[in-house]
Amino acid sequence: MSGLPLDAPAPAEDAPRRRPGAGRRTLRDGALVPAISLATVLAILGLWALATGAGWVKPLFLPPPGAILSAFAQAWNGDLDGAPLGVHVRDSLLRVVGAFLIAAAAGIPAGLAMGTSRIARGVLDPLIEFYRPLPPLAYLPLMIIWFGIGELSKVLLIVLACFAPVALATRSGVLSASGDQINAARALGASRWQVLRYVVLPAALPEILIGLRIGMGVGWTTLVAAEMVAAQAGLGQLVLNASNFLRTDVVVMGILMIGLFAALFEFGMRRLERALVPWKGKV
């Protein structure tokens, strides 16, 4: 019985038909989301200005946008506590980014080990699952007792907060790797390292990047707790000091600064995710 050769192209009628305007619809959707986000932000700012300008909310609870700009100018010049805003930003970035890099350097290998070894999973999994739900303030006193009030206790507190989501996401990604692909690589003579490098790691990379994004977010949320430990400068320390004097404008300004830098890091991680795993969501 005759038939099409294996390398012959499929008949035109069997090819999937692309719906008219599908590409244009994707482009419109891609431009629509940023437009909605921008409109939402502008609406919130407008409502904020209206509520504070009309006196609906007392400045003690929510200062007007002009007061936030004034507080920013004071912080920039160092008129609040003697340290310019750049010093606070620098110290906070060093703590968060340094702790995040340490957590990533330790969490990714730990997750790979838990995903590929039952022994490593049995040793590390209960420890991580035990401390992961604990709020950082719960073990902050231990950090102070064990490591003092210097930078080490602050960085370690953020490291512990970032480590768990990175390690668990990496383990989940390794366990989601296709068994057929692993067996096929072994059948072709791939070593254990080659299977890990060329099969398991690419399959786990989307989950690893999600864990890194979550870890970075947790690191920023832990920053204020870390800077409670006799910090001389830092955005969290700036917010805490301002709250003691009921400087709501400085508190809001510090919160907005932390949120801005956290959003910038999140945006960078999303760009990195699109560059490293362009196939995500398309297969």
pLDDT tens digit sequence for 3-37:
434 344 444 444 445 555 544 555 455 578 788 98
Nearest C-alpha neighbor of 204 from the set 176, 183, 182: 176
What phi and psi values does residue 208 have, to the nearest 5 degrees?
A: -60, -45
- The pair of structure tokens assigned to 201 is 């790691």
Residue 84 belongs to domain spanning: 65-276
Total domains in the chain come to 1
pLDDT band at 274; cut points 50, 70, 90? confident
Answer yes or no: is 195 within a domain.
yes
- C-alpha distance from residue 3 to each of 8, 11, 12, 14, 16 (Å): 10, 12, 16, 15, 21
Q: Kindly report the CA angle at 98 between 94 and 104, in degrees rounded to 5? A: 155
Reported as a single tens digit per residue, the pLDDT across 119-139 is 999 999 999 999 998 888 888
DSSP letter, residue 2 = -
Is 125 in a helix, a strand, or coil? helix
Residue reference for tokens 């490293």: 276
CATH code at position 69: 1.10.3720.10
Is 38 a domain residue?
A: no
Regarding pTM above 0.75, the answer is yes
If one compares 77 and 3, the residue with the highest pLDDT of the two is: 77
In a domain, 222, yes or no: yes
Residue 168: name the closest of 231, 229, 107 by CA. 107
Q: Write out pLDDT tens, residues 130-165.
A: 999 888 888 888 888 998 888 898 999 999 999 999
Over residues 98-124, the pLDDT tens digits come to: 999 999 999 999 998 898 889 999 999
CA distance 201 to 203: 5
pLDDT at 178 over 60: yes
User: Would residue 6 count as lying in a domain?
Assistant: no
* pLDDT value, residue 13: 46
16 in a domain, yes or no?
Answer: no
Averaged pLDDT score across all residues of the chain: 83
Task: Give pLDDT, residue 282.
Answer: 61
Q: What is the pLDDT of residue 59?
A: 87
* 5 occurs within a structural domain: no
Contact yes or no for 205/173 (Cβ under 8 A): yes
Q: Give a yes or no: residue 211 inside a domain.
A: yes
Residue 14 within any structural domain of the chain: no
